[in-house]
Amino acid sequence: MRKLLYVVLDGLGDLPTPELNGKTPLEAAKTPNMDSLARKGKTGLMYPVRKGVAPESDVAVISILGYDPFKYHPARGVIEAVGAGLDFKDGELALRCNFATVDESGKFIVDRRVGRNLTTEEAGKLAEAINREVKLAYKPSEFIFKNTVAHRAVLVIRRLEGKLSGKITNVDPAYSKTLEGFGVAKSQPQTKIEKCFPLDDSEEARVAAELVNEFIEKSYKVLKNHELNLRRVKEGKLPANFILARDAGDTVPKFPSFQELYKVKFGCMADMPVERGIALLCGMEEVPLPQSTGDLKADYSLRAEKTLEALESLDGVYIHIKGPDEPGHDGRAKEKMRIVELIDEFYFGKLLAKLNLEETLIVVTADHATPCVIKAHTDDPVPLLISGGGVLADEVDVFSEKACRKGKLGIINGSELMPLLIKLLKD
């Protein structure tokens, strides 16, 4: 059987941008390697979930890995806890957290991500202090607070007697929660911090909300006076003095695994705990990656090497590359273009030099669009290419949103992709 390499470039999709003379970052970027894949293969467009849905990454990834996100919708908190390697069981409470900066009053957010310059190492020291000094007293319980990448973290609380319910509101005012439990980014976020409230009258939800509020208050006291934060302020940086928590969950989702569904053994390579968590829940095994160094040339080259290595022993590899999403959120079109070029040269360039395209089916796409002119995820379809592994070419010879519109694959929904790939693999 052929092997499958499934490459997802986070937030790659975009819209025409004045800064790039009406081109999208992908269109404006020099991408000879992805273009050659498009030329040799078939292209199309994909709504990661379906038309009209602007998804968060978690919902999108669940969908493009072949699961109906309306049926399998674990809370983001649980996905991140699994992705962070924490042991999580039904009846415990998991929340996605951000280190953030609040003002003197402790009531208003100054920056949701501590100016995006909190290092993973700094976050680790603060997390250590929280785990050491905060004691939850409202009900007998214990917690683990784990920082993941930069300002991101996960909180898991377990009760010593009884269960906790994830049916509680978000403390993070930038996100609301739908009835199905999806986290949704608000278009006009408030800066006033909200208390956590139960969403139903169960004892489990009431206790969960109280424990979260207690954790937030007590961790604030630890962070406010932590010497690392005092030093950051002296250096003119924002202090990481508050924990914003959101997307609580209490249940481990039961995804039918890739082995059960397709009889294949897949590995995942992802920088972020959310994508890693979903892949692990789908039954993929983790291909260990060192933390990204920030030197993108080295990071992407290393990922190319690791991909080739992993493909030797597995039926397929899913790799999720975070690069293009962040400049999309920040509205920096030229930076997004530059990152796409680096991915093309240092990931695809190194990879294609050694990859046997006859034996490997390769897919390149995105989990959603993050257009620089919108600075948020949108419902626009993303470009898609399927190449190698004996796939016949269509007429399209470059990889871009505009060119892929003319591709033979047409416009598909995210959950249709995986079955299509498996069919091509086994044909």
What the block records as the tokens of 205 is 């939800």
Measured distance CA(192)–CA(104) in Å, rounded: 13
Q: Return the residues of window 30-89 that contact Zn ion according to CB under 5 A.
A: 57
Pairing outcome for strands 93-102 and 266-270: unpaired
Q: Which residue is nearest to Zn ion (CB)?
A: 57
Q: Return the residues of window 367-386 that contact Zn ion according to CB under 5 A.
A: 367
**CB-CB contact of 91 with 250 (8 Å):** yes
Shortest Cβ 365–Zn ion spacing (Å): 12
Measured distance CA(320)–CA(347) in Å, rounded: 12
Shortest Cβ 412–Zn ion spacing (Å): 19
**Stretch touching Zn ion by CB under 5 A, among 4-12, 29-37, 42-50, 221-229:** 4-12
Number of residues that bind Zn ion (CB under 5 A): 4
Residue 98 binds Zn ion, judged by CB under 5 A: no
Site string for Zn ion, 248-267 (x = CB under 5 A): --------------------
Cβ atoms within 10 Å of 202's Cβ, excluding its own: 14
**Stretch touching Zn ion by CB under 5 A, among 113-121, 128-136, 183-191, 320-328:** 320-328
For residue 32, CA distances in Å to 38, 342, 393, 403 come to: 10, 11, 17, 14
Site string for Zn ion, 325-344 (x = CB under 5 A): x-------------------
Burial pattern 304-330, b for ≥16 Cβ within 10 A else e, equals bebbbebbeebbbbbbbbbbbbbbbbe
Site string for Zn ion, 387-416 (x = CB under 5 A): ------------------------------
Residue 10 binds Zn ion, judged by CB under 5 A: yes
Measured distance CA(331)–CA(401) in Å, rounded: 18
Shortest Cβ 202–Zn ion spacing (Å): 33
Give the residue with the Cβ less far from Zn ion, 330 or 416. 330
Shortest Cβ 279–Zn ion spacing (Å): 14
Give the residue with the Cβ less far from Zn ion, 57 or 148. 57
**Stretch touching Zn ion by CB under 5 A, among 12-20, 119-127, 172-180, 362-370:** 362-370
Give the residue with the Cβ less far from Zn ion, 14 or 204. 14
Interface residue list for Zn ion (CB under 5 A): 10, 57, 325, 367
